């Protein structure tokens, strides 16, 4: 077991601070993947806190996929090496929460998505292979079907844009775009779906695929810009409809009571 010790803390939010202190030991390389942490009793002694406080700190670290527990004679708590999928899942959950709390606005989301996806298609146009182009084509075929449900159409939309990220063959772009797509695109769909036409989205996807087949990154980028502009227009329409409904509700309030009644 790698030797590590910690100074006691003397302020509030101890569990959070303990988790941050251990996290720092991981990020600065003091603790390596598969190193075993001291026992709860030893950590409680070092930080001079109760064992429940240590358990809460460990729960925070486990939620970030930074540690894992193993039972049995060789059990204990070990430093984890989180996979891309685990980190992306945590980031997606956090991002979706921030959106639901209003920290990110839909126009900001669309702006960020446009910049990232334009970069993706520029790379994808140079690097995509036939299998990846076929995957994009399969999703378009699903989207063309009149019988496909709204839910299935939106799921195919997500897969289409994930496939563009895959075609970049850039692990960092894929990681970032997966988070954007998984966390934000379903929210975009929820907000603007009833205000957009499927045939428009399908045509835009066809144009993107055609440009990628021709290895024309600029044409693909322009198609992405046009799709984001369309979604922004549809979002504005959705917002206008909500404002009209809100005004109608306010205008349809209880009648004023006549004097003397």
Half-sphere exposure of 260 (CA within 13 A, CB side): 0
In-domain check, residue 177:
yes
Same domain, 110 and 217: yes
Question: For 248, left (φ over 0), alpha (ψ -120 to 50), or beta?
Answer: alpha
- Residue 45 shares a structural domain with residue 97: no
pLDDT band at 220 (very low <50, low <70, confident <90, very high): very high
What is the 3 state secondary structure string of the chain?
A: CCCCCCCCCCCCCHHHHHHHHHHHHHHCCCCCCCCECCCHHHHHHHHCCCHHHHHHHHHHHHHCCCEEEECCCCCEEEECCCCHHHHHHHHHHHHHHHHHCCCCCHHHHHHHHHHHHHHHHHHHHHHCCHHHHHHHHHHHHHHHCCCCCHHHHHHHHHHHHHHHHHCCCCHHHHHHHHHHHHHHHHHHHHHHHHHCCHHHHHHHHHHHHHHHHCCCHHHHHHHHHHHHHHHHHHHHHHHHHHHHHHHHHHHCCCCCCCCCC
Residues 20 and 119 in one domain: no
**Same domain (yes/no): 74, 101:** no
Is pLDDT at 254 greater than 60 in this prediction? no
142 and 186 fall within a common domain: yes
Same domain, residue pair 97 and 73: no
Domain count, the chain: 2
Better pLDDT: 15 or 83: 15
Question: In terms of domains, do 221 and 137 share one?
Answer: yes
Task: Identify the sign of the CA torsion 245, 251, 252, 253.
Answer: positive
Domain identity same for 135 and 180: yes
Least confident interval from 15-29, 55-69, 71-85? 71-85
The CATH number of whichever domain residue 42 belongs to comes to: 1.10.10.10
Residues 153 and 234 in one domain: yes
Question: Where residue 225 sits, what CATH number does that domain have?
Answer: 1.20.120.530
Would 64 be classed as within a structural domain? Answer: yes
253: in domain? no
Tell me the residue range of the domain where 156 lies: 85-238
The confidence score (pLDDT) of residue 11 equals: 47
pLDDT tens for 31-51 read: 999 999 999 999 999 999 999
% of the chain exceeding 70 in pLDDT: 87
Query: Do 50 and 134 reside in the same domain of the chain?
Result: no
CA angle 255–238–153, rounded 5-degree value: 135
**93 and 56 within one domain:** no
Same domain, 160 and 138: yes
With 0-12 / 13-18 / 19 or more C-beta atoms within 10 angstroms meaning exposed / middle / buried, residue 21 is middle
* Predicted pLDDT at 250: 58
């Amino acid at each position: 077991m790698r030797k590590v010790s910690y100074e006691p803390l003397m302020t509030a939010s101890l569990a959070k601070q303990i988790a941050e202190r251990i996290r720092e030991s991981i990020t600065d390389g003091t603790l390596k993947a598969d190193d075993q942490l001291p026992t709860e009793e030893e950590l409680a002694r070092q930080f001079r806190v109760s064992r429940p406080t240590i358990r809460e700190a460990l729960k925070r670290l486990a939620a970030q996929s930074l540690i894992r527990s193993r039972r049995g004679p060789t059990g204990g708590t070990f430093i984890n090496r989180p996979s891309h999928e685990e980190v992306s899942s945590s980031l997606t959950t956090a991002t979706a929460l921030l959106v639901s709390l209003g920290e990110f606005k839909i126009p900001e989301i669309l702006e960020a998505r446009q910049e990232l996806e334009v970069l993706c298609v520029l790379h994808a146009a140079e690097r995509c292979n036939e299998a990846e182009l076929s995957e994009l084509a399969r999703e378009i075929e699903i989207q063309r079907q009149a019988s496909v449900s709204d839910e299935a159409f939106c799921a195919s939309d997500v897969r289409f844009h994930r496939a563009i990220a895959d075609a970049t063959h850039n692990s960092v772009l894929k990681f970032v775009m997966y988070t954007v797509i998984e966390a934000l695109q379903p929210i975009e769909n929820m907000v603007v779906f009833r205000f957009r036409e499927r045939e428009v989205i399908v045509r835009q996807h066809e144009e993107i695929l055609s440009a990628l087949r021709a290895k024309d990154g600029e044409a693909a980028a322009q198609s992405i810009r046009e799709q984001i502009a369309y979604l922004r227009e549809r979002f504005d329409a959705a917002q206008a409809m909500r404002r009209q409904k809100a005004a109608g509700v306010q205008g349809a309030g209880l009648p004023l009571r006549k004097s003397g009644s």
